[in-house]
Amino acid sequence: MENFVFCTPTNFVFGRGTESQVGKLCIENGATRVLIVYGGGSVVRSGLLDRVRTALTEENLPFGELGGVKPNPEDDLVRIGIDMVRNEHFDFILPVGGGSTIDTAKGIACGALYDGDFWDFYCGKAKIQKALPVGVILTIAAAGSEGSGNSVITNLSNMQKLSLRCPEHLRPRFSILNPELTMTLPPYQTASGICDMMVHIFERYFNNTAETSITDRVSEGVLMSIMDEAPKVMANPQDYGARANIMWAGMLAHNGICGTGVVEDWASHFMEHELSALYGVTHGAGLAVMFPAWLTVVSRINPHRAKQLALRVLHVSPEGKTDEEIIAEGIARLREFWHSLGLPITLKELGIENPDIDTLVRNLHIAKGEPIGNYVKLDRKLTKEIYEEAR
Ligand code: NZQ
Ligand code: ZN
């Protein structure tokens, strides 16, 4: 096991009706003027935004609002938010929504206290020294940004979608997780979120680090629970218990607990980020296509983890089978599972008939260098093979 630091200071407030506590939680975390950030309108339609306004007003907390965050969030709204903070002196950022909204809020939180352009942090030109506090009300179980120290933003000037990682400054102070708030999600978003959280675990599970049995078993347990709960939530979107388990799994998948002591991979995410930057696809659906393609190619070079996953999580029987057959059956089962949730498993099914693979590969290595990943180090010949495999 590798050395590690694992600090998750976020206060998770979980359960029915917990959004009513938001005013108190903001004050406990030093807020005097709150900027609410939200997306394209789901929180308006559900009445959640009104309830948040009421909760802040009850605590005499002044607030402003910035709506309009798009899925795969863009830099322009972050810049608008930064200007609002500077002009109107907000000292606390409150995203109400999903990963895109939370990531926009995190971009505002670090950019508002920085003299240069906030993009410097995302492209690695500068390191965050300080950021405004962020508190979250989550409405979709997916990206895990409610517990992570990450933010992913697309820069429209060069269409780079880059992930910033800074747990010291970007982990939320609190995250309100009410599973009922996820009951209005369209099935495709629920399914995409489930795939995203599973791949957050896979990005950590596929490693070459020795002696990590606790981390392995935690990861396998969360994965198997997700696979048990997912069909329930798809069959009955109002199933509170299933929604609750999926919501908590999304947090556990990405707050770092499933990656303690291991060298993580992240190549599938980098490859998907290029897809969502170029074609605007839903992140989790893009992963349902990219991850099995990645696994097919890398397990030919480094098979040990793919076999372990097939046997322990995907319940492939080893009887009379070669390692290659066990792995192939594991990958097929994973694809079948995501298909059963209504997700695409090829680029064609994702709506990309003629993928521009040369551009995807070029952009990928411009953004992330060469090689990428750790479980198998991928040069551009291999990343091209993976995009081809995904067709
Ligand atoms: O914008 P609104 O109207 O709110 O609608 C959203 C959006 O259309 C809708 N939605 C959310 N909650 C809803 C709802 N609709 C009805 N009822 C609800 N309760 O769902 C759509 C998707 O929202 P989004 O915030 O984009 O989803 P998600 O949480 O999957 O976030 C995806 C983004 O997070 C990034 C992805 O790359 C992508 O940009 N990621 C962020 C990470 C992080 N910060 O740690 C890690 C992830 O790997 C990921 O890369
Ligand atoms: Zn993800």
Q: Which of 42, 52, 154 to mutate to test the pocket of ligand 1 (most atoms within 8 A of CB)?
A: 42
70/68 Cα distance (integer angstroms):
6
Contact between residue 253 and residue 202 where contact means Cβ atoms under 8 Å apart: no
Q: Which residue has the tokens 């890398």?
A: 298
Ligand having the closest approach to the CA of 138:
1
Ligand having the closest approach to the CA of 69:
1
Nearest-CA residue for ligand 1 atom 28 is 99
- Indicate the pLDDT class of residue 334, thresholds 50, 70 and 90: very high
Other beta carbons within 10 angstroms of residue 73's beta carbon come to 26
Q: Provide the 8-state DSSP code for 18.
A: G
Q: Give me 176's structure tokens.
A: 């309100």
- Which residue spans within the chain are E strands per DSSP? 11-14, 34-38, 63-66, 92-97, 135-138, 150-155, 160-165, 174-177
Task: Name all residues whose Cβ lies below 6 A of ligand 1.
Answer: 39-43, 71-73, 97-101, 103, 139-140, 142-145, 148, 150-152, 181-182, 184-185, 189, 193, 196, 254, 269, 283-284
| For range 197-224, the mean pLDDT | 98
How does pLDDT run across 118-148, given as a tens digit for each residue?
999 999 999 999 999 999 999 999 999 999 9
- Residue 284 Cα to ligand 2 midpoint, Å, equals 6
Percentage, residues of the chain above pLDDT 70: 100
| For range 180-207, the mean pLDDT | 98
Burial group, residue 343, by CB count within 10 angstroms (0-12, 13-18, 19+): buried
How does pLDDT run across 45-89, given as a tens digit for each residue?
999 999 999 999 999 999 999 999 999 999 999 999 999 999 999
Which residue from 244, 231, 182, 185 is spatially nearest to 341, judged by alpha carbons? 231
Give the pLDDT score at 136.
99
SS3 130: coil
Q: Which atom of ligand 1 is nearest the CA belonging to 151?
A: 44
Q: Which atom of ligand 1 is nearest the CA belonging to 38?
A: 4
Q: Which of 36, 140, 276, 282 to mutate to test the pocket of ligand 1 (most atoms within 8 A of CB)?
A: 140
Please list the residues that pair with 378 across neighbouring strands: 372
- Residue 381 Cα to ligand 1 midpoint, Å, equals 32
Neighbours of ion ligand 2 (CB under 5 A): 196
Other beta carbons within 10 angstroms of residue 305's beta carbon come to 20
Percentage, residues of the chain above pLDDT 90: 100
Give the pLDDT score at 189.
98
Burial group, residue 116, by CB count within 10 angstroms (0-12, 13-18, 19+): exposed
Nearest-CA residue for ligand 1 atom 49 is 143
What's 231-293 look like in SS3? HHHHHCCCCHHHHHHHHHHHHHHHCCHHHCCCCCCCHHHHHHHHHHHHHCCCHHHHHHHHHHH
Please list the residues that pair with 82 across neighbouring strands: none
Q: Which atom of ligand 1 is nearest the CA belonging to 149?
A: 45
177/243 Cα distance (integer angstroms):
11
Mean pLDDT, the chain, integer? 98
What's 164-214 look like in SS3? EECHHHHCCCEEEECHHHHCCCCHHHHHHHHHHHHHHHHHHHCCCCCCCHH
Q: Which atom of ligand 1 is nearest the CA belonging to 184?
A: 17
pTM above 0.85, yes or no: yes
